[in-house]
Amino acid sequence: MQKIIECVPNFSEGRDLNIIRQITDVIESVEGIKLLNVDPGKGTNRTVVTFVGNENEVVEAAFRAIKKAGDLIDMRKHSGAHPRFGATDVCPFIPIANATMEDCIACAKKLGERVGKELNQPVYLYEYAASAPHRKNLASVRAGEYEGIAQKITLPDWKPDFGPAQFNEQTGNIAIGARDFLVAYNVNLNTTSTRRANSVAFDVREQGRKTKNEKGEEVHQPGACKAVKGIGWFIPEYGVAQVSMNLTNINITPVHIAFDECVKSAYNRGMRVTGSELIGLMPLKAILDAGKYFLEKQQRSTGVSEDELIKIAVKSMGLDELVPFEPRKRIIEYMLDDAGFSPLISMNLRRFADETASESPAPGGGSIAAYMGALGISLGTMVANLSSHKKGWDARWKEFSNYAERGQKIKDDLLKLVDEDTRAFNKIMEAFSLPKTSDAEKAARKQAIQEATKNAIEVPFRVMELSLQSFDIIKAMAEIGNPNSVSDAGVGALCARSAVYGAWLNVKINASGYEDKKYVEEKLKTGTAILEKTIALEKEVLGIVESKIK
Rounded to whole angstroms, the Cα distance separating 445 from 448 reads 5
Long-range contact pairs involving 223-229 (C-beta distance under 8 Å, separation at least 24): 224/261, 224/264, 224/265, 225/253, 225/257, 225/258, 225/261, 226/252, 226/253, 227/252, 227/253, 228/204, 228/253, 228/258, 229/139, 229/205
Q: Does residue 337 have an active-site annotation?
A: no
| 128: three-class secondary structure by DSSP | coil
CB 445 within 8 A of CB 355: no
Residue 210, Ramachandran bin (φ over 0: left; ψ between -120 and 50: alpha; else beta):
beta
Backbone angles phi, psi at 196, to 5 degrees: -65, -40
Cα–Cα nearest to 233, from 218, 243, 225, 223:
243
Question: Is the previous residue joined to 363 through a cis bond, with omega within 30 degrees of 0?
Answer: yes
- At 193, which amino acid appears? S
Rounded to whole angstroms, the Cα distance separating 13 from 73 reads 7
Q: What is the DSSP string of 219-279?
A: EEE--S-TTEEEEEEEETTTTEEEEEEEES-TTTS-HHHHHHHHHHHHHHTT--EEEEEEE
Q: Does residue 421 have an active-site annotation?
A: yes
Half-sphere exposure of 360 (CA within 13 A, CB side): 12
Instruction: Please identify which of the residues 82, 203, 289, 413 carries the catalytic annotation.
Output: 82
C-alpha dihedral sign at 228, 229, 230, 236: negative
Instruction: Please identify which of the residues 260, 289, 419, 421 carries the catalytic annotation.
Output: 421
What's the burial of 518, exposed, middle or buried (CB within 10 Å: 0-12/13-18/19+)? Answer: exposed
Give, for 127, the enclosing helix (H) or strand (E).
strand 123-127
Listed in sequence order, the residues at least 6 apart from 545 whose beta carbon sits closer than 8 Å to its beta carbon are: 478, 486, 487, 489, 490, 493
What does DSSP assign to residue 51? E
Rounded to whole angstroms, the Cα distance separating 499 from 497 reads 5
Catalytic residues: 82, 421
